A and B are shown apart, each in its own frame.
Chain A
Amino acid sequence: MSAPSQNAGFLKQATITAVFIAVLWGVDQLLQIGLNPYYVRVVVNCGIAAILALSLNLINGCAGQFSLGHAGFMAVGAYVSATLTTVYPAGEFFQSPLGVGVAITIGGIVAALAGYLVGLPSLRLKGDYLAIVTLGFSEMIRVCFLNIPAVGGARGMNGIPVHSSFFWVYLWAALAWVFFWRLLRSGRGRAILALRDDETAAEAMGVEVSHFKVVSFSLSSAFAGIAGGLFAHYQGFIDPQSFDFSRSVLVVIMVVLGGMGSLSGAVLGAVVVTVLPESLRVFESYRLIIFPLVLILMMLLRPKGILGHREIWEFFPRRAK
């Protein structure tokens, strides 16, 4: 490939990115003026859920492992970033929007390290056993935060600077999408998909299976941590209960409902699982029964998830060129 065309490719990417950011910012402004804050909140929660689902999809959908501890990594990201911005603010910097972004990134990195540790058992355990271990780890993380007085213990943390917004959440969500999309279309991503299909064959083809299992856990946890940071700095408040078992289960439901291994499926699952309980509010407390019923019904109708293994656009016939 010649140098000019490479530069052109880079220029094109930069232009698309710039336009995307501008549009996102514009929509953010419009939402602030035009939309009922309640709806804005639901839309933002969809974005956070999408990041969680996209990231868990790497472990549960692509690498063929089973994690039931995503809330734990989210908690790490939330607590680490909130501690930086609230409890031990390193000067004014971490109170500024940029500082909050940096804190959230650091939260993601720490979550990735936690993901690395939790990924290690995946080298020995499979299926249900692995699920139980990841669940145990995430509960341990939660109980740790519950017992650290500096981060509020059971009361949680208040007064976290609210600097995440529609704009930031969807910027990170887009980044997560591009990250996982490109990862899966690279040699490393193929290695991860190969180990899901057949570990023995993948290893025989020169893929260091143990390495890629742990890498999947780390990369996935990084984005779970970022989702946690965004969550903390959107709510302005976090407590250990925000990251309990039920949240992990919800993220698994998003991935399974959307279709394991499908990125658009993960996003779709995230939107359904976030919006559905909200739209059922008219049924008041009955929604606690109706929501699971709807989920069960959807899984009965489409046992492989709404999209199965496929991406959403694969359902539409391609235009003839």
Chain B
Amino acid sequence: MTPPVLEVQDLSISFGGLKAVAGFGLTLRPGALEGLIGPNGAGKTTVFNLLSGVYTADSGRFVLDGADLRGFSAYRISHAGIARTFQNIRVFSHLTVLENVLVGFHQSIRYGYWDAFLLTGRFRNDEAAMEQQALALLERVGLASRAGDNARDLPYGDQRRLEIARALATHPKVLLLDEPAAGLNTVEKEQLMGLIAKIRDEFKVAILVIEHDMKLVMGICERITVLDHGEVIATGTPKEIQSNPKVIEAYLGVS
């Protein structure tokens, strides 16, 4: 079996007295497409915040390709290869759609300030190449026609896809998607899930997706982890999860 690209062990964080995440563990193999589900307030977004360096875990570790990243700041985790989107959309609202994706290419920039100031060939070549790659990413998520528009003028669904393109620009090994289908209608949701599966295949990236719609998650994810009150209550294939009494209890709210 291939070694895992991401291995999370015993990750915990408390806010004041509240244990938001306790003893979280997960293993992602390269190219995996897995789901993270759980009732509202279960701690799903907090897990993403820990894995992307927005918060630093109180204890535990998460190892990406052999390097423990706990305690790293967010930009270094991004450089290492974990990218994410946000549940509460965070596009750069005053930048254009294209510029948003170009920011994602930040760490690929090789030219210096002087190149930019003197408009050297190196600067022009690098910028032209990045722009082409950015346009290709926008094409991939279906936003190429809106490249020149301000990001804040896009409908929410498009802003979420823009966040996906922007995250892919960082060349991630692991992509964390926080409710990418929120606010979409049923047809759009299915299209988006199809897109996510294709992205996994084309970019050879492992994807962990948070989604409330059970049917959708069950449809595309190979494995699912269920959180409740900050703790993992089940992990397994969609089939196993569906028939797990603990999961049913958590979702029916019998506690």
Interface residues of A (CB under 8 A from B): 1, 3, 6, 9, 13, 178-179, 182-183, 185-191, 193-194, 196-198, 200-209, 261, 309
Contact = CB atoms under 8 A, between A and B. Distances in A.
B92 A193 contact: yes
B84 interface: yes
17 contacts: A1-B125, A6-B124, A179-B117, A182-B119, A183-B117, A186-B113, A187-B127, A190-B95, A190-B103, A197-B94, A198-B91, A204-B53, A205-B169, A206-B106, A208-B73, A261-B94, A309-B94
B94 A193 contact: yes
B106 A200 contact: no
Contacts of B106: 187, 190-191, 205-207
Contact of A203 (B74, B94, B120, B121): B74
B92 A197 contact: yes
Given A198-B92, A200-B74, 18 more contacts: A1-B124, A182-B116, A182-B117, A183-B116, A187-B102, A193-B99, A196-B94, A197-B92, A197-B94, A204-B54, A204-B74, A204-B75, A205-B104, A205-B106, A205-B169, A206-B106, A206-B170, A261-B94
B225 interface: no
Contacts of B73: 203, 208
B93 A204 contact: no
Interface of B: 52-54, 73-75, 78-79, 83-84, 86, 90-95, 99, 102-107, 109, 111, 113, 116-121, 123-125, 127-128, 130, 166-167, 169-170
Contacts of B119: 9, 13, 182
Nearest to A3: B121
Given A186-B116, A205-B106, A197 B79 contact: no
A188 B116 CA distance: 9
B39 to A, nearest CB: 25
A318 to B, nearest CB: 13
